[in-house]
Amino acid sequence: MNDRTKPAVGILLIAVTVALITATFPQGQFTSIPPDLAPKYRFDFARNFFASPEVEMAERAKHSATLKELEALKGKVGVSADTLLRALQLNDRLQLQFTRHYIYLYLRYAVNTKDEDSRDTQQKLGAEVTQRTSFLQQELMKIEARTFERFAAQRPALKPYRFAVEAARRLKPHTLSLKEEELLSALGPLMTEWQAELYQKSLDRTAFGKVKSAGGELDVWKDQGALHNSPDRSGREAGFRKLYEGYRTHRDLQAFALTRLLKAENEVARIKRYDDSPAAVYFGLHLPSADVKGLFERLGQSADFNKRYQRLRAGRIQQIAGYDEVNYWDLSVVPPGKERPRFAIGEATNVITDSLKPFGEEYARELAALLDPKNGRLDLVTGDNRVPGAFAWGFPGGTPSIFYSFNYEGYFDDVLTLAHEAGHAVHFNLMGAHKVMPVFTDGPGYFFESFAMFNELLLADALFARATDTYRKTFFLEKFLDNAMAVFPITRQAALEQAMYDGVKAGTLKAADDFDSLAKKNGQRYSIYFDKHDELKMEWINIHHYYDAPLYYVNYVFANFLAVKYYEMFTRDQQSFLPKYLALVNNGFNDSPPALLKKFLGLDLRDPKLVGDTFAVLEGKIKALEGLYAK
């Protein structure tokens, strides 16, 4: 899944006003989702997927039949132009059919983690399809370039598949024999998926407790946003400490699970002739390990830029709150007499729609279809036994894109998450609308994430531009910078994951205390708060991606650079930039990331100026914030 998305339905045009965009509510009266609307903000499985679990089970016969047809070509894929075309087309059809079931089953589990049957069935189906189609990679990688061109001359319909065959050929040094690949696919869930389940079970069983606040008792786990943004300082501190006390409860089991996961991932990668799991993942992203580690190091060396921003923000909080010392739980403080902007779900929909208007009518239609609760593609209402986090998902041409969130509380971060994940969803919608072939709808995560992060920057910047008073301007500029400067905490978390894989490989990382020490040392390099708060050393428990989406954070690092670069190009020459950017979004992944960036935007991922451009844009924003603070 990896924090991504897919297609669309329906049209809803939303009118928006500046007054509505900046609306806030007294903390005691605010309702993020009105009770009468709450049922609409649940997935409508019958409308978007299958009428019932029984129907879903029966319809698996369709993808099973396609899978059987594809398997019949085993050993014949590269024999002729006809068999090659047939295999590639069947594979596309299989992906359209299968992914609908795969997403549906996970969503049933996401909204109710006690539905382990759905999760187990999803994993089993995924492993089966992977195992039974692994021969395709084996046979495609044996087709030489000259042979493919000869086949394409005979059957021109093959020409669009050129990069798919080239990509398969690229993996040849890291592909095992067919029997070995099939065995590895079958054993995969047993080796590398149980750890995320154990992690989730440990969280489900943790008694995080509650904290009293002016508005009543708040659940430390379910109401993290409300606690973080509470005006009650003692409540914020209690929420912070109780959260990490909860993490400490099962840290031995979580360290056990994570250690076994890291070892298993490294071993699988070694079997496939990579140095380790990070090297395998980076290879798949067209990023050499040396380049990735080099970027982490350059950012680590530049982390004083982030600490300067943290001290600027802490100084402002001291000024407005009168605190002798600013702690991690104080970062949400607003000036006396002011309320943190909050957005009911209707306002959030309008805010996002208005902020992304520059992308044009086609983008707006797809966005509106996702956000309209009548379509049943949003699930935002909290409850028991829900997976943590937020994600969007879908598949062009056959599966409606959806958005899931553990909880929507109406804070700016909730709106930002919705804008981010909506970016993923609309991206898949647009690829479907532009007839991108299924084989080219999945690409490096940092491409997906860069588009979503660009949405975040546009949202914060639009609210900053429209704000008419100093407080709101300051608030939204801070939020813009928080998201642009996220490159540092994101790199901190990605660098920690890389260090964990290195530590397990070297045998120096074995137990919870080892993870704590590594996380604290790593955190101290990037942030002023790891010295102040010993609890933050448990960051390795706080990041669920480490368990359920290993090594995904590197995507965020590169995506953050690209998003800020998009923003710089957008503000410099919007008229020239937008058509090229939207063409890239609509295009899919029919070439390597470096080639696509060069072709559509003239960017070079290895250009060292990307880092400089990022800091140049942020420096100007920080000066603007200093000017607002001076007022």
What is the per-residue pLDDT for 221? 92
What is the per-residue pLDDT for 29? 75
Residue 485 near residue 309, CB atoms below 8 Å: yes
Using CA atoms, how far apart are residues 287 and 274, in angstroms rounded to an integer?
14
Average pLDDT over residues 564-587: 95
| Residues of the chain above pLDDT 70, percent | 95
In the predicted structure, residue 26 carries a pLDDT above the cut 80: no
Average pLDDT over residues 431-442: 93
Encode pLDDT of 450-502 as tens digits. Answer: 999 999 999 999 999 999 999 999 999 999 999 999 999 999 999 999 999 99
Using CA atoms, how far apart are residues 63 and 57, in angstroms rounded to an integer?
11
Give, as one character, the DSSP assignment of residue 287. Answer: -
Using CA atoms, how far apart are residues 522 and 516, in angstroms rounded to an integer?
10
Q: Can you point out the beta strands (E) in 396-519?
A: 399-405
Encode pLDDT of 107-161 as tens digits. Answer: 999 999 999 999 999 999 998 998 899 899 889 999 999 999 999 999 999 999 9
In the predicted structure, residue 290 carries a pLDDT above the cut 80: yes
Three-class SS state of 340: coil
In the predicted structure, residue 601 carries a pLDDT above the cut 60: yes
What is the per-residue pLDDT for 28? 52
Whole-model pTM: value is 0.82
Encode pLDDT of 388-422 as tens digits. Answer: 889 999 888 777 899 999 999 999 999 999 999 99
Average pLDDT over residues 79-105: 96
In the predicted structure, residue 271 carries a pLDDT above the cut 70: yes
Using CA atoms, how far apart are residues 235 and 209, in angstroms rounded to an integer?
13
Instruction: Identify the CA nearest to 621 among candidates 556, 581, 574, 564.
Output: 564
- Higher pLDDT residue, 14 or 56? 56
What is the per-residue pLDDT for 528? 97
Average pLDDT over residues 209-238: 89
Q: Position 360: which residue type?
A: G
Domains, the chain: 47-194 (1.20.140.70), 231-337+486-551 (no CATH)
Encode pLDDT of 356-379 as tens digits. Answer: 999 999 999 999 999 999 999 999
Contacts of 497 (CB under 8 A, 6+ apart): 543, 546, 550, 551, 553, 554
In the predicted structure, residue 3 carries a pLDDT above the cut 70: no
What is the per-residue pLDDT for 9? 25
What is the per-residue pLDDT for 206? 95
**Residue 471 — φ and ψ, nearest 5°?**
-60, -50
What is the per-residue pLDDT for 25? 36
- β-sheet bridge partners, residue 210: 219
Encode pLDDT of 164-202 as tens digits. Answer: 999 999 999 998 887 888 888 888 888 999 999 999 999
Q: Residue 46: which pLDDT band, with cuts at 50, 70 and 90?
A: very high
What is the per-residue pLDDT for 11? 22
In the predicted structure, residue 508 carries a pLDDT above the cut 50: yes
| Residues of the chain above pLDDT 90, percent | 77
In the predicted structure, residue 305 carries a pLDDT above the cut 50: yes
- β-sheet bridge partners, residue 219: 210
Residue 578 near residue 358, CB atoms below 8 Å: yes
